[in-house]
Chains A and B, each alone.
Chain A
Amino acid sequence: MLKYILKRVLYMVLTLWIVITITFFLIHAIPGNPLASLARNLPPQVRANYYAKYGLDKSVPQQYVMFLKNLFHGDLGESLKFPGRSVTDIISEHAPISARLGIQAILIGVIVGIVLGIIAGFKRNRWPDHLVMFVAILGVCLPSFVLAALLQYILSVKIELFPTAGWGTGKYTVLPTIALCFGSIATYARYMRSSVLDVINQDYILTAKAKGISNFSLIWKHVIRNAIIPAITILPPQIAGIFGGSFVIESIFAIPGLGSNLVDAVNNRDYTVIMGLTIFYCALYIISLLVVDILYGVVDPRVRVSEDTTE
């Protein structure tokens, strides 16, 4: 198992390096640079010094090598737009906010989605199924920003149940969390439903029925445990979707999270911040992939990694 994880970590580093390289050259390919507006009115000598300070006077490949060297020492550099603020500071300051929102959204999205999907699967073609599938279609079709605006209008402007925007107590997290997780709920409900229907028709369910066990045991031990395996597969894309959704949702609700920082950084061509946040998001995603793979082994004994087959 240890060997397996080590191998996976090695692959993760490789993936990360590829992502870094592609992102680096892509953002440098965009015309303009972050210092242009500030440096426009400076005398040529000062401007040159200014560029040199950030290494922007060197060629792109040289900058790339420099960036990797710094990265290796754990230094992500400082913001070009806001001198004095290091990228690690930005991450440590804003990541917890995004993390809270993201974790809430993923947990609620996955759990509610799975429960709804199971209900729909068992009540196939009856009203609970139709209701869940209606909500699910809505969730798949409705973009999160539309839902966000609707929620703001109904639940905070009309009924004044929750604050419209901003960040503070738990109350502030309710609307953005709903807006963010609705898509996951929809996807999971649909996925779980078909998975449950697939499992109910398996031979081993007949075997279990022929044993005369209670309905609860049948559903819990035989149906859900097996139906949940394919649902784990779509967890990483859901996590990625929630990362992506958070960029938009954080802007709409004026939440000072990482997502809105990244959007601002891209608009400002703030190279160091873009790189730093990209690496951060990418690392998170890769780690979540590893966690999901390990989770797979926990749920499904057939994919459990054995000690002697990993070499």
Chain B
Amino acid sequence: MNRILEVKNLAVSFHTYAGEVKAVRGVNFYLDRGEALALVGESGCGKTVTAKSLMRLNPIPPAEIKEGSSIKYNGKEVLDMSKEEIRAFRGAEVGMIFQDPMTSLNPTMKIGDQIAESLITHMNLNKKDALDKAVQMLERVDIPKPEERINSYPHEFSGGMRQRVMIAIALACNPRILIADEPTTALDVTIQAQVLELLKELQSEMNTSIILVTHDLGVVANFADRIHVMYAGKIVEKGTTREIFYEGEHPYTWALLSSVPDLYEENRKKLYSLAGTPPDLLLPLDGCPFASRCRYCMQICKEKMPPKTELSESHSVSCWLKHPSAPKVEKPHILRRDV
């Protein structure tokens, strides 16, 4: 079986003093072996919550994974795993990298010990063998002088190096899936490229599947096989990277694409930015969540959730513009050049 992860109808809420925040509202996707999937969307759209839910890392309470959600790893239901099973699952089967490398490493623990820790837990290695493996891991993520560096503390590393260490930690036990939650957001641009390249390299080397969570479409262009665009806790458009970039159909996808800076743009206009803010997830959403910011908004958009329209085997979009009786709209000019 090629399908390693299957997420069905995933809904996650947070119980706060203000009420129930429906952060993720019915997300479906799958992941194949060795594939890179990108979840793209702006801050607060539920992509990180989705990613954390895959490892059940959201603290419960206040978080709650809703009845009817399903996350199947190799056919086994993650949401039904016992405490021991989920512990064996984390780190060994799925590794995770977080957004801010400056705060994601334990400041009072040596780098080597932090990498060795999961090896000792999952691979039954003794301390010495685990540290040897940690040296190898550091070497693989291109940290110079790894034998010396395992005795360093996180504050002796730069941001880019710390993110490499995070990658080494996440991949130490050779997990089948790597979840990278905005791995490059906190890094400067040159380091971003290096880290992405490293991830790509390790992915093909270890045949790991990657779920990349990001708000930056520029980051995923050369990285992901498929892209899912998320908005207000839902996936609004799914497709292969090619389909999203060249045949994207959702107005929100267009907005995201338009806000990527373009080096070749002839008339250097002001960079496009989408006006408004995402809807408050505390309030019930009857219509399309994007309606209030959509320039093509129609009456129906405010009243009913748009159905999913399949455009190809891999490409689907949830937008009323795809309805047969909807008016035909042109893509924004800035994107048409690409077609």
Contacts and interface: CB of A to CB of B under 8 A. Distances in A.
A63 interface: no
Nearest to B102: A203
Interface in A199-215: 202-204, 206-214
A217 B88 CA distance: 14
Interface in B114-147: 117-118, 121-122
Contacts of A210: 55, 57, 90-91, 95-96, 170
Given A207-B166, A225-B109, A301-B153, A212 B104 contact: no
B169 A207 contact: yes
A211 B155 contact: no
Interface size class on chain A is: 20 to 34
Contact of B155 (A203, A214, A225, A301): A301
A222 B103 CA distance: 13
Contact of B118 (A206, A211, A225, A226): A211
Nearest to A209: B57
B106 A209 contact: no
A203 B153 CA distance: 16
Contact of A203 (B95, B103, B109): B103
B107 interface: yes
A209 B90 contact: yes
B155 A302 contact: yes
Contact of B107 (A209, A214, A302): A302
B122 A204 contact: no
A302 B152 CA distance: 11
Contact of A204 (B55, B88, B103): B103
Contact of A207 (B89, B106, B153, B155): B106
B98 interface: yes
A211 B103 contact: no
A207 B107 contact: no
A195 to B, nearest CB: 13
A217 B103 CA distance: 19
Contacts of B90: 209-212
A46 interface: no
Contacts of B323: none
Interface in B151-187: 153, 155, 166, 169-170
B87 A214 contact: yes
A212 B120 CA distance: 11
Contacts of A264: none
Nearest to B89: A212
A209 B91 CA distance: 9
Contacts of B166: 207
Interface string B83-105: 00011111110011010100111
Given A210-B57, A213-B117, A213-B118, A204 B105 contact: yes
Nearest to A229: B108
A300 B155 CA distance: 11
A207 B121 contact: no
Nearest to A228: B108
Contact of A206 (B57, B91, B109): B57
A1 interface: no
A301 B108 contact: yes
A52 B155 CA distance: 64
A28 interface: no
Nearest to A207: B104
Contacts of B91: 210-213
Contacts of A291: none
B97 to A, nearest CB: 9
Contacts of B169: 207, 211
A14 interface: no
Interface in A49-88: none
Contacts of B88: 212
A210 B96 CA distance: 6
Contacts of A208: 106, 117
A204 B106 contact: yes
A204 B117 contact: no
Question: Which of A209, A211, A214, A299 gathers most chain B CB within 10 Å?
Answer: A211
Contact of A302 (B89, B117, B122, B153): B153
A221 interface: yes
Contacts of A225: 106, 108-109
B57 A221 contact: no
A72 B14 CA distance: 68
Nearest to B94: A210
B121 A214 contact: yes
B117 A207 contact: no
Interface of B: 55, 57, 86-92, 95-96, 98, 100, 103-109, 117-118, 121-122, 153, 155, 166, 169-170
Given A208-B117, A213-B87, 14 more contacts: A202-B103, A203-B98, A203-B103, A204-B103, A210-B57, A210-B95, A211-B91, A212-B88, A212-B121, A213-B118, A221-B109, A221-B117, A226-B106, A226-B107
26 contacts: A202-B103, A204-B107, A207-B104, A207-B105, A207-B106, A207-B169, A209-B57, A210-B55, A210-B95, A211-B90, A211-B121, A211-B169, A212-B88, A212-B91, A212-B92, A212-B118, A221-B109, A221-B117, A222-B106, A225-B108, A225-B109, A226-B108, A229-B108, A300-B108, A301-B108, A302-B107
6 closest residue pairs by CB, A with B: A212-B90, A212-B91, A211-B118, A203-B103, A211-B91, A301-B153
